[in-house]
Amino acid sequence: MSRIPFALCLIALAGCEGFIASPDWVPGEAPTTPPVRPPLQQPVVPEIDVCEPARTDVGRVTLRRLNRFEYDSTVRDLLGDTTKPANAFPADDYGHGYDNQGDVLSTAPLLVEKYDAAALKLAKTALAAEYRPGFSTRLPATSMTASTGSSSGSAWNLYTNGTLTGSVTVTTAGTYTLSVRAYESAAGPERSLMSFLVDGVAQGASATVAATSAAPQTYSRQVTLTAGTHTIGAGFLNDFYLAPDDRNLFIEYVELTRPASGSPTATSRLLTCDPVAGGATCVRTILATFGRKAWRRPLVDTELNRLVSLVTLAQTEGDGVQTGLELALQAVLLSPHFLFRVEADLSTEPRALDDHELAARLSYFLWASTPDAELNTLADNGTLRAQLEPQVRRMLADARADSLSSQFAGSWLWSRGVEEASPDPVMFAAVTPSLKAAMKAQTEAFFATFYKEDRSALELLTGTDSFMTDELAAHYGVPAPGSTTLTRVQNVPENRRGLLGHGGLLTVTSQPTRTSPVKRGKWVMSQLMCMEPPPPPAEVEAFSAATTPTGTLRQQFEAHRSKPECKGCHAMMDPLGFGLENYDAVGHYRTTDTGGFAIDSSGVLFDGRRFNGPKELSETVSADPKFADCTARQVFTYALGRAPISTDECTIKNMTAAFTQNGHRLPALIAALVTSPTFTSRRGEAP
């Protein structure tokens, strides 16, 4: 049977409604881990809405598939798996700047095949780590080492007191059953006595062997073994000879066994009971417990019955309960209830999300992963909605919130693209993979301080602290922190303050051989002020820098943008980009360009405000109300998995008001969103 039909069979058993195919994909990145910071302060909530509630539409988010990062984070938290299986999946597409947008997270047949392989491997690996397999080794007596006696057919005849031993290797310490199949030839007033031996030491009381050659019997003792190689066997203890009577002990084989077991331990994630000893009741408990975590809600009886039937089917076909559980767990991980964040469209009228749907929205927003035990408990009790703000504070203090740096800020601020940037290797030979990794980590660690430490987000552009390694500090020409790992540095030089002084951002907004004022200006407009310029007309000739310049790059651009069809957009973007012209294509600070011409980094914004150099540009943008509004829009888009539309303007304004009234603290902005009807509700869509 091919793998995709098998996958679809399992999906059907687990409750599949189907998949939608699309071929378009764009790659993403994995996170780094910024330091954990002090707890957050209670935010101030605006006393009144700043616009009419009647204009607010809670909206509808398209059924969202887990993206690759969310899949890896989820199986990490569910199963402890850190192998990142989603690296083998097709890359996720981007929408509105993020790869967690419901409208673009489609599912192609190739992805289903990858899901199937990953689910099978995850189920097998996770169970193998917790499920103790059975053990059985039989040593034929005639192949063992005897201190006395001789062979007698398939048995060994110990005709005087002596031992019969052999070696066996066990990989797991524990209790085993040592069994000996034996019989005697009777003589004298006693029956034969047999000892059980492990490493030459008798184990427990001896056995009285009364069986005859016509009906041999098996005698057993429980023994405790450490992992490793041991000598096991039996001994004859009471030989008797008085002609013509002769008492002998005959041994057919020695066997060491241990039944399979799934006894739970303190680290068990799957086995809440022993499925061997507990039977069907335990199997049902295991699947109900894991299914509730994986599907982010309790299972109904029909769903649980389908999963249990897979275990029963495997056992009917002669497989063990472990194989059956592997099949059932694979089905759980292949179900749309795992692969998608299911929120039902019950009607076109708005409805409050149930607490399980709300827990999933919250956890995938702040952690890019599944709800933890505390969120699940609140959801099961129906009390999560009343605890949203305390949960936000708790979750932002958790290390899993680092996904906000790697995924949210990584996409918003483009740090996810740093390691793929390709500066000219001849011109910029010092830009090594480790330097690019440090640039990326610098931005992510810096951003993390704003939700971990509850500091003003205006300092994203003006903050006097930063994070550096010795290699990155050398690249910037500043004193080294004395560490090969990322280290926080206070009071950095003026030209390295805030995001606009980060080498990673300056590199990804450049061309391979030169700076790009257009890219940099467009980045400031679109990412920090949410002012997206229109695309250039198709017939406009692209700018090409002079091979032998007779003036600065700025002068060349000014000649280019003097064309009527270019002037409008370039008049808005270029001054912002030239405000960063003191930084070369990889972020070195300079006062003259590659042609030796003095750099002019002054500018006039589209509304007439003037600035001179990166510092004044950063201060100007951070003080602009559009920066606070844009930050709210970026958070909204990432959290909801869709871009705001006109009916979301009330929500955006309320978020921005809370953000501003609380000193531009990100936790206050986040709390304002997650407590809003837009986050806690949804509506269906008319057919």
Given this model, what pLDDT does residue 346 score?
A: 79
> In this model, does residue 266 exceed pLDDT 80?
no
Domain co-membership, 523 together with 602: yes
Question: Which residues, 6+ apart, have CB-to-CB distance to 284 below 8 Å?
Answer: 304, 308
Q: Is residue 57, in this structure, part of any structural domain at all?
A: no
Measured between alpha carbons, how far is 435 from 485 in angstroms, rounded to an integer?
11
Q: Which residue has the higher pLDDT, 215 or 35?
A: 215
Q: pLDDT band at 23, cuts 50/70/90?
A: very low
89-98, 208-217, 595-604, 633-642: least confident range: 595-604
Q: DSSP secondary structure string, 9-74?
A: HHHHHHT------------------PPP-PPPPPPPPPSS-SS-GGG-----PPPEE--HHHHHHH
Mean pLDDT of 264-292: 91
Q: pLDDT band at 53, cuts 50/70/90?
A: low
The DSSP call for residue 310 is H
Q: Which residue has the higher pLDDT, 603 or 666?
A: 666
- Burial label for 440, CB within 10 Å (0-12, 13-18, 19+), is buried
Measured between alpha carbons, how far is 110 from 128 in angstroms, rounded to an integer?
27
Domain co-membership, 375 together with 302: no
Domain co-membership, 244 together with 280: no
Measured between alpha carbons, how far is 209 from 158 in angstroms, rounded to an integer?
13
> In this model, does residue 568 exceed pLDDT 90?
no
**pLDDT averaged over every residue in the chain:** 89
Q: pLDDT band at 556, cuts 50/70/90?
A: low
Q: Is residue 51, in this structure, part of any structural domain at all?
A: no
End of a domain among 291, 316, 342?
342
Q: Do the Cβ atoms of 296 and 356 come closer than 8 Å?
A: yes
User: Could you give the percent of the chain with pLDDT greater than 70?
Assistant: 86
> In this model, does residue 569 exceed pLDDT 70?
no
User: Could you give the percent of the chain with pLDDT greater than 90?
Assistant: 75
Given this model, what pLDDT does residue 259 score?
A: 82
Domain co-membership, 319 together with 416: no
Q: pLDDT band at 276, cuts 50/70/90?
A: confident
Q: Which residue has the higher pLDDT, 63 or 20?
A: 63
Bridge partners (DSSP) listed for residue 246: 241
The closest alpha carbon to 482, from 511, 676, 474, 553, belongs to: 474
Q: Do the Cβ atoms of 29 and 437 come closer than 8 Å?
A: no
Q: pLDDT band at 8, cuts 50/70/90?
A: very low
> In this model, does residue 39 exceed pLDDT 80?
no
Measured between alpha carbons, how far is 240 from 247 in angstroms, rounded to an integer?
5
Domain co-membership, 608 together with 652: yes
Residue 491 has which token pair? Answer: 């009071």
Mean pLDDT of 639-659: 95
Q: Is residue 50, in this structure, part of any structural domain at all?
A: no
Domain co-membership, 463 together with 495: yes
Angle, helix 109-130 to helix 3-14, in steps of 10 degrees? 70
Measured between alpha carbons, how far is 630 from 622 in angstroms, rounded to an integer?
11
100-109, 174-183, 545-554: least confident range: 545-554
Q: Is residue 71, in this structure, part of any structural domain at all?
A: yes
Give the Cβ contact number of residue 635 at 10 Å: 22
Q: Which residue has the higher pLDDT, 449 or 51?
A: 449
Chain centroid offset of residue 145 CA: 54
The closest alpha carbon to 404, from 37, 25, 26, 24, belongs to: 37
Q: What is the pLDDT of residues 342-394, one digit of tens each?
A: 998 878 888 999 999 999 999 999 999 999 999 999 999 999 999 999 999 99
End of a domain among 227, 258, 289?
258
Q: What is the pLDDT of residues 299-312, one digit of tens each?
A: 999 999 999 999 99
Question: Which residues, 6+ apart, have CB-to-CB distance to 118 below 8 Å?
Answer: 85, 86, 88, 89, 333
Give CA separation, 482 vs 183, 435, 468, 473, in Å.
77, 15, 10, 10
Q: What is the pLDDT of residues 152-176, one digit of tens each?
A: 999 999 999 999 999 999 988 889 9
Measured between alpha carbons, how far is 270 from 285 in angstroms, rounded to an integer?
10
Q: Do the Cβ atoms of 597 and 549 come closer than 8 Å?
A: yes
Domain co-membership, 600 together with 664: yes
Question: Which residues, 6+ apart, have CB-to-CB distance to 444 below 8 Å?
Answer: 31, 32, 34, 402, 405, 406, 409, 410, 415
The closest alpha carbon to 638, from 71, 42, 67, 31, belongs to: 67
Q: Is residue 294, in this structure, part of any structural domain at all?
A: yes
Q: Do the Cβ atoms of 323 and 331 come closer than 8 Å?
A: no
Angle, helix 321-334 to helix 275-294, in steps of 10 degrees? 0
We report the CATH number of the domain holding residue 221 as 2.60.120.260
The closest alpha carbon to 11, from 433, 239, 303, belongs to: 303
Mean pLDDT of 473-498: 97
Measured between alpha carbons, how far is 55 from 649 in angstroms, rounded to an integer?
8
Q: Which domain holds residue 393?
A: 349-687
Domain co-membership, 223 together with 288: no
What is the four-CA torsion angle of 118, 369, 445, 674, rounded to 10 degrees?
150
The closest alpha carbon to 164, from 141, 136, 183, belongs to: 141
Q: pLDDT band at 554, cuts 50/70/90?
A: low
Q: What is the pLDDT of residues 310-340, one digit of tens each?
A: 999 999 999 989 999 999 999 999 999 999 9
596 by DSSP, 3-state: which?
Answer: coil
Q: Which residue has the higher pLDDT, 332 or 687?
A: 332
Given this model, what pLDDT does residue 1 score?
A: 35
End of a domain among 318, 342, 366?
342
Given this model, what pLDDT does residue 502 score?
A: 98
Measured between alpha carbons, how far is 222 from 257 in angstroms, rounded to an integer?
10
> In this model, does residue 93 exceed pLDDT 60?
yes
Q: What is the pLDDT of residues 488-543, one digit of tens each?
A: 999 999 999 999 999 999 999 999 999 999 899 999 999 999 998 877 666 555 55
Q: Is residue 669, in this structure, part of any structural domain at all?
A: yes
> In this model, does residue 11 exceed pLDDT 60?
no
18-27, 256-265, 606-615, 643-652: least confident range: 18-27
Domain co-membership, 326 together with 224: no
The DSSP call for residue 544 is -
Given this model, what pLDDT does residue 607 score?
A: 83
Given this model, what pLDDT does residue 129 score?
A: 87
Taking the CA atoms of the chain, what radius of gyration do you get in angstroms? 35
| Number of structural domains the chain divides into | 3
Say if residue 244 is preceded by a cis peptide, omega within 30 of 0: yes
Q: Taking the model in full, what pTM does it have?
A: 0.81
Find the DSSP H helices in 509-641: 517-523, 553-560, 564-578, 613-623, 625-640
The closest alpha carbon to 204, from 172, 180, 183, 230, belongs to: 180
Measured between alpha carbons, how far is 589 from 475 in angstroms, rounded to an integer?
10
> In this model, does residue 4 exceed pLDDT 60?
no
Domain co-membership, 164 together with 183: yes
Q: Is residue 335, in this structure, part of any structural domain at all?
A: yes
The closest alpha carbon to 187, from 210, 164, 162, belongs to: 210
The DSSP call for residue 95 is B
Residue 228 Rama label (left phi>0; alpha psi -120 to 50; beta): left
Chain centroid offset of residue 69 CA: 6
The closest alpha carbon to 248, from 179, 180, 166, 191, belongs to: 191
Domain co-membership, 280 together with 383: no
Mean pLDDT of 71-88: 97
Domain co-membership, 127 together with 189: no
Given this model, what pLDDT does residue 65 score?
A: 97
Q: DSSP secondary structure string, 16-34?
A: ------------------P
Q: Is residue 42, in this structure, part of any structural domain at all?
A: no
